[in-house]
Structure 1
Amino acid sequence: MNIKLNKTQPLFIKILDFMVHISLAICTAWFIAYSFAYKVTNTGQSMLPLIGVNEGVLVNRLAYVFDKPERFDIIAFKSSENDVNVKRIIGLPGETVVILEGIVYINGNPLDTSDVTGKDLEKAALEGIASAPVILKDDEYFVLGDNRESSEDSRFSKIGNVKRKLIIGKLWLRIIPLKRIGYLY
Structure 2
Amino acid sequence: MAKKKKNEWLEWMKALLVALGIAFIVRMFLFAPIIVDGPSMLPTLHDRDQMIVNKFSYNFKDPERFDIVVFHADAQKDFIKRVVGLPGEHVAVVDNVLHINGEPVEEEFLPENKQSATFQSVKNDFTLEELPGNHEVIPEGYVLVLGDNRGNSTDSRMIGLIDMDQIVGKASLIYWPFDRIQFVGE
Using the size of structure 2 for normalisation, the TM-score is 0.76
Distance 1:58 1:89, change over 3 A: same
- Does structure 2 conserve the Cα–Cα contact (< 8 Å) formed by 1:98 and 1:134? no
CA shift, 1:53, in A, is 1.1
- For residues 34 and 121 of structure 1, the distance between their equivalents in structure 2, rounded to whole angstroms, comes to 41
Q: Report the secondary structure of 2:58's partner residue.
A: coil
Report sequence identity in percent.
30
- For residues 24 and 164 of structure 1, the distance between their equivalents in structure 2, rounded to whole angstroms, comes to 33
Q: RMSD across aligned C-alpha pairs, in angstroms?
A: 3.0
Using the size of structure 1 for normalisation, the TM-score is 0.77
- Does structure 1 conserve the Cα–Cα contact (< 8 Å) formed by 2:128 and 2:137? no
- For residues 155 and 183 of structure 2, the distance between their equivalents in structure 1, rounded to whole angstroms, comes to 23
Residues 1-185 of structure 1 mapped to structure 2, 5 A cutoff: 22-80=16-74, 82-114=76-108, 117=109, 122=114, 125-128=123-126, 130=128, 132=130, 134-156=136-158, 159-185=159-185
Provide, for residues 54-78 of structure 1, a one-character-per-residue CA deviation record: whole Å limited to 9, x for no partner: 2221111111111111111000011
Aligned AA (1:175): Y
Distance 1:95 1:26, change over 3 A: same
**Greater C-alpha radius of gyration:** 1
- Does structure 2 conserve the Cα–Cα contact (< 8 Å) formed by 1:99 and 1:131? no
Aligned AA (2:106): D
Gaps of 5+ in 1: 1-11
Aligned length: 172
Instruction: Looking at secondary structure, tell me which structure has more helix per residue.
Output: 2
Gaps of 5+ in 2: 1-5
- For residues 19 and 84 of structure 1, the distance between their equivalents in structure 2, rounded to whole angstroms, comes to 35
CA shift, 1:15, in A, is 8.6
- Does structure 2 conserve the Cα–Cα contact (< 8 Å) formed by 1:36 and 1:60? yes
Distance 1:136 1:110, change over 3 A: same
- For residues 81 and 15 of structure 1, the distance between their equivalents in structure 2, rounded to whole angstroms, comes to 42
